[in-house]
Every structure is written in C-alpha cells, then in structure tokens.
Structure 1
Amino acid sequence: MKLVVQVKLLPAPGQAAALEATLRACNTAASDVAVVARESAVYRNYDLRGHVYAGIRAGHGLGAQAAQHVIKKVCDAYKTLAANIRAGNLGKPGSKRRRRVERNPISFRWDAAQPYDARMLSWQHDARTVSIWTVDGRLKQVSFTGSPDQVKAVAAHLIGESDLVHRDGMWFLHATVEVPEPELFDPGGFLGVDMGIANIAYDCDGNRYAGARLNGYRRRQARLRARLQAKNTKSAKRLLARRRRKEARHAANVNHVIAKTIVTEAARTGRGIAVEELTGIRDRVRLRKPQRVTLSSWSFHQFGSFLSYKARRAGVPLVEVDPRYTSQTCNRCGHRDTRNRPDQETFNCRSCGVVAHADHNAALNIAQRGVEGWGAVNRPHAA
C-alpha cells in the first residue's frame, strides 16, 4: 500500500531562494498551460503536451521532466474540477458560480506543490540530505529532518513520486512510499463504530469518544477568528495567518488518536471494523442554519480515511455498511420506529422496552450489518 510521508527540508538561504524560484516558474507555467487547455478544450495529458511542451520549456526554463509534470498537474486539476462539477459541488447547472468555473481557466498559486520523480530528486539517507532539481541547477546536500518514524519510512521503503511543498515559510517533501500490506485475517465478528458530531465515535463495546471538547475548541477558534477579523490591524492579520491551520491540525490529531485506538482494539480481539457509508451526507441532510457550521466542520471523511489505512496496515478487515435506520432500529428485537429515539442520546424501543444510549444501539446494529455484509461477500455459500 502507498503512504505519504512528510519530511522537512532545511535549505540554506541560497538554496531556499532557488527552491522559491523553481516553484514560481513551475506554477507560472502551469497557469499558462491551463489557459491553453481551456481555450483549446484539450485536457488529455498526451494531447496537451503537443500544444505547450516546447513553449513552457523555452519560456520558463523548465527541464524535460519538470515540464511534463507541470502538464500532468494541469490535466489532473481539470479532471478534479470536472468531478466536482458532476457531483454538484460547484453549484447547480446554470448557476453563476458554476458558469464561472466552467468558463475561466484554472490558476495556480506561486507556491502550489510541484511533483518530483526519481530523475529530479535523489535521497542520501546516511547523510540525511537530498539532491533536487531547480531552475538554477541541481541543488546538492539539502538537509532534511523529521520524526524517527518519518525518517525510517523514507529510508526503509521504495519512494515514488514526491511533492515539493512550501507552507508558512517552511519547505517540505511529501514522499509517497510503498509499504508491505499484510493479508487480512478472517474476523471473528465485527467492531461496529457509529460516527457522529456529539460523539466522534461510539463503538459497540460501549467505548465513547466524545466530541464535546473538539466542538468546544472549534467554537473558541471561531470566536477568536471573528474578533481578530473585526480588529483588521496588521498584528491581527499576522496572528490570523499563524493560526490558520491550527484547528485543522488539532482535529487531525484527535482523529488519528481515536482511529489508532479503535484499530488496536479490533486487532487485539480478532474482529473486523464496520462503519457507516456516509458519502454525500452533507447533501442529504437538512439542518437549521446554526447547525450548518457544525456539519461543515465535521471531518468524518478524514476520520474514515484514517481508520481505513490504519486497518489495512494492521491486516484488519474494514467494511462500510448501509447507514439507513441504524439509529431507529432496536438491536435486540429489530423493531424500527422514529419514536424509538426521543432525543439525541436516548434510545427506547417501543416494542421490547430496551433502553440504551442511541449511539451505542446504532453501533451494535452496524456491527451486525458488518457481519452480514462480510459473510455475503466472503462466505456466500456457507450453510
């Protein structure tokens, strides 16, 4: 399986200037290529190369590999844009926003990430340096650092494509590494996990991973941003710039910790993990205006992706199940009724009288659906 490992570059001032010039040249070229692609309606990599390859090499001083990566980056950006348009993420057909993105070419920030391959980037793991192509020539002995796990990962595994990233005045390489993936074991049951906003996760063993602290943290950050934006002073803008990713990093760390705990418990008990399939939930649900910010900041996709890759690395099977009516159905007798859930926390079956936490009841239903789904795919002819 492929993992992305981030290491931090420690360039000297002259090296940093060369890296900055390289990103500026590559992204200026990418914006020019995007204009040609839009005007000629050519978005396939090979076809677009015939229109722009010679021009961006001569006009922007790019090497052969860099020019090809720039063209591929533009094609990938238009492919992503088309997918977002099809999914309705950029408005309905005929809307002002959708017409604008369909008409105007994509533009790239000067410091947008630039892909590198093995011809443009080599690693010296013993010296902990890299040799990297720039528009000013090859930079050698550019130091890098990272956590022990990050440094070990790039040294021990095959490195594929890497991205040069400039963020908050620092330089990073996001290296794609190929790590061995263990075979999935045959699970003796499933650990059902109900994902939510009030509780980030609630498993069928009764373990609750509350979201109150994270939601409170997000509300405090929103109030602080509002106060700083209202001040509109230079110092307030500097503080906003420094804090702009703090909330996202904190939420990602919380999701990492919870996902690791769940995967470790599933592996310890020999069970798989069953979660709800929540794709498109923001389009399906209707909420009052005060609830929309909370739903928009709910990072369920990130949490689900963390669960998925950590489970794969541990050899733990993970299945996604139909989320419909899991919170309205009694896990004991199977009776389904909207009145079974009188409030957010409480489940009270109108048929058999069982009382439980609503999320725990839902997690038990998810675990049962995980067993049924796994058996239908992997043991379809079992007696």
Structure 2
Amino acid sequence: MAPNYRYHIWHPSLCQSNHEINKDIYTAVDRAYRWKILAENLQKKYSSPKYPAWRRRKAIHNRIRSFHRKARNVLEDWARKAPLKIARLAVKLQHALAREDLTGLIEALRKLPKDHRVKLIIMGYSRLVKWIDWQAMKHGAPIVIVDPRETSSECPQCESKLEENGYRILRCPRCGFEADRDVIGKLNIRKRALKMLGIKVIPGGVLAPHCLSDDRCKPE
C-alpha cells in the first residue's frame, strides 16, 4: 500500500498490493448475490401457471422481500466496515490510498455478462466509494484518485499495449512482463498514484521497493 489497493469492482474481491503484497479482500458480493438469486428463483417459481394464486399468499411475498433485504444488509454492512479497516491500516502503516475514478461504471456494466453486471449493481460502487473517501478523510489517510483508462491493458513496466496470453493473463510483447489482469491494474494504479504524489517512478522499476525511501525517488 503506497498507494496500494485497487478497487477492480467487476471482480468479486477488493485487492490491496505493493511491491511485497498481493492480497484479495473478501467483498461479501457473492454472499449478497446468492440471496438475490434465491429471491429471484422463488419469485420465478411461483410465477408459473402451476401456482396461479401465489400472489395472494402473504408468506411467499414476505419471504421474497426478506431475501432482498438480506442482500442489501450484507452489502451495506460490508460497505461500512471494509473502508474503516482499510483506512486504519493505511494510517498504521503511514501509507496513502489509491483508487480508480470509475464515474462511468454503470455505462461499462452494459458490456459485461449479466451475472457480473448484477453483482456490480448490487454492490453499489458509489456507496462504497463514499465510505472509503469519508473514512480516509476522517482518519487522515491521503487518498489519490487516478484515471482508470487502460489500467488493465497497459504494461506497468514499459507502458506498451498488453496482449492476452491465457485466461485473465496478459503479456507485454515488448519487455515480456506477464501477470494477471487484476495485478496489472493494481500496479498501474499504484504507479499513477505515486506520480500524482510527486514521487518519481523509475522507468521499468515500478516494483522497486526502494522508491519509498531512496533519495532518487523523492519529489523533485
């Protein structure tokens, strides 16, 4: 973390990383998604011609509503608690936080498969971001918001265009750098955030740990 976590929200986990750490953080999206699917399946079941009077059964209505409510509660609880832990960790380690500016996330959802799109909508990215920013401000943790364009398709080492090399694996045809798409995104967000903080990023040395302490990497 320096800055060290990435919110790549289409994936059901948050990620935090630096030159030493690459860790997925459970997001509770899958658990909420399961409640939503239960509600939708129950409603679909009793909408069939086999159950013509289901709409008059209050118990069925209540059960469907309870499943939707549980899905909302799971995400609301997580959206409040996860940012608090992240902000406290950043303060403890004296690190900054970085996230993508995904203002146009909803538009991007239309291009995703239905299951991913539903998960993203459920998560309520704007709600999560609100709590992250608020907790960072409350605890005094610097937060950097970077441009999300090409964070998952640009080589973090030489900035060339990456090519697919297997499921979710990208490889740079120029320098040979290869990693998972999420890892690449995290590295690029970290790199861009460091530049915004005025910390020099040595070409080809995005993973170099000395960049947090060495004089060569201090702001000019």
Tell whether the structures are fold-level matches, with TM greater than 0.5.
yes
CA distance in 2: counterparts of 1:334 and 1:373, whole angstroms:
17
From 310, 313, 325, give the equivalent of 2:138. 313
CA distance in 2: counterparts of 1:201 and 1:343, whole angstroms:
19
Show the counterpart of 1:336. Answer: 161
CA distance in 2: counterparts of 1:355 and 1:246, whole angstroms:
40
From 336, 339, 348, give the equivalent of 2:171. 348
- Cα distance per residue 1:345-364 (max 9 Å; x no partner): x2333332233232122112
Q: Structure 1 residues 216 and 241, CA, compared in 2 at 3 Å: closer, same or farther?
A: closer
Kindly indicate whether the alpha-carbon contact (under 8 Å) linking 1:328 and 1:341 is maintained by their aligned counterparts in 2: no
Shift in Å, 1:243: 4.2
SS, match of residue 297 in structure 1 = helix
CA distance in 2: counterparts of 1:374 and 1:340, whole angstroms:
31
Query: Where in structure 1 do 4 or more consecutive aligned residues deviate above 6 Å?
Result: none
Show the counterpart of 2:192. Answer: 369
- Cα distance per residue 1:160-182 (max 9 Å; x no partner): xxxxxxxxxxxxxxxxxxxxxxx
Is 1:357 the counterpart of 2:172 in the alignment?
A: no
SS, match of residue 141 in structure 2 = coil
Q: TM-score, normalization: structure 2?
A: 0.73
Structure 1: unaligned runs, 5 residues or longer: 1-187, 377-381
1:320-331 alignment runs, 5 A limit: 320-331=145-156
CA distance in 1: counterparts of 2:190 and 2:78, whole angstroms:
23
Kindly indicate whether the alpha-carbon contact (under 8 Å) linking 1:275 and 1:321 is maintained by their aligned counterparts in 2: yes
CA distance in 1: counterparts of 2:147 and 2:193, whole angstroms:
9
Q: Structure 1 residues 210 and 360, CA, compared in 2 at 3 Å: closer, same or farther?
A: farther
CA distance in 2: counterparts of 1:375 and 1:193, whole angstroms:
19
Task: Return the letter of the residue paired with 1:327.
Answer: S
CA distance in 2: counterparts of 1:237 and 1:310, whole angstroms:
37
Task: Return the letter of the residue paired with 1:323.
Answer: P
CA distance in 1: counterparts of 2:138 and 2:189, whole angstroms:
22
Structure 2: unaligned runs, 5 residues or longer: 47-53, 200-218
From 85, 89, 99, give the equivalent of 1:261. 85
Q: Structure 1 residues 258 and 347, CA, compared in 2 at 3 Å: closer, same or farther?
A: farther
From 27, 36, 39, give the equivalent of 1:224. 39
From 163, 185, 202, give the equivalent of 2:15. 202
SS, match of residue 99 in structure 2 = strand
CA distance in 2: counterparts of 1:261 and 1:351, whole angstroms:
39
Shift in Å, 1:370: 1.1
Shift in Å, 1:289: 4.4
- Cα distance per residue 1:327-361 (max 9 Å; x no partner): 11222232223x246433x2333332233232122
Kindly indicate whether the alpha-carbon contact (under 8 Å) linking 2:35 and 2:71 is maintained by their aligned counterparts in 1: no
Shift in Å, 1:301: 1.4
Shift in Å, 1:197: 2.5
Show the counterpart of 2:4. Answer: 191
CA distance in 2: counterparts of 1:340 and 1:267, whole angstroms:
37
Percent of residue pairs bearing the same amino acid type: 20
Point out which structure has higher relative CO (alpha carbons under 8 A, 6+ apart): 2
Structure with more of its chain in strand, by fraction: 1
Task: Return the letter of the residue paired with 1:317.
Answer: P
Kindly indicate whether the alpha-carbon contact (under 8 Å) linking 1:195 and 1:300 is maintained by their aligned counterparts in 2: no
1:97-108 alignment runs, 5 A limit: none
Shift in Å, 1:313: 0.9
Structure 1 or 2, whichever has the larger Rg, is 1
Q: Structure 1 residues 350 and 196, CA, compared in 2 at 3 Å: closer, same or farther?
A: farther
- Cα distance per residue 1:23-78 (max 9 Å; x no partner): xxxxxxxxxxxxxxxxxxxxxxxxxxxxxxxxxxxxxxxxxxxxxxxxxxxxxxxx
Kindly indicate whether the alpha-carbon contact (under 8 Å) linking 2:32 and 2:74 is maintained by their aligned counterparts in 1: no
Task: Return the letter of the residue paired with 1:247.
Answer: A
CA distance in 2: counterparts of 1:266 and 1:350, whole angstroms:
35
Task: Return the letter of the residue paired with 2:191.
Answer: Q
Task: Return the letter of the residue paired with 1:310.
Answer: Q
Shift in Å, 1:365: 1.0
Shift in Å, 1:268: 1.7
- Cα distance per residue 1:69-112 (max 9 Å; x no partner): xxxxxxxxxxxxxxxxxxxxxxxxxxxxxxxxxxxxxxxxxxxx
Show the counterpart of 1:295. Answer: 120
Q: Structure 1 residues 242 and 264, CA, compared in 2 at 3 Å: closer, same or farther?
A: same
Show the counterpart of 1:214. Answer: 29
CA distance in 2: counterparts of 1:303 and 1:341, whole angstroms:
32
1:270-289 alignment runs, 5 A limit: 270-285=94-109, 286-289=111-114
Kindly indicate whether the alpha-carbon contact (under 8 Å) linking 1:192 and 1:365 is maintained by their aligned counterparts in 2: no
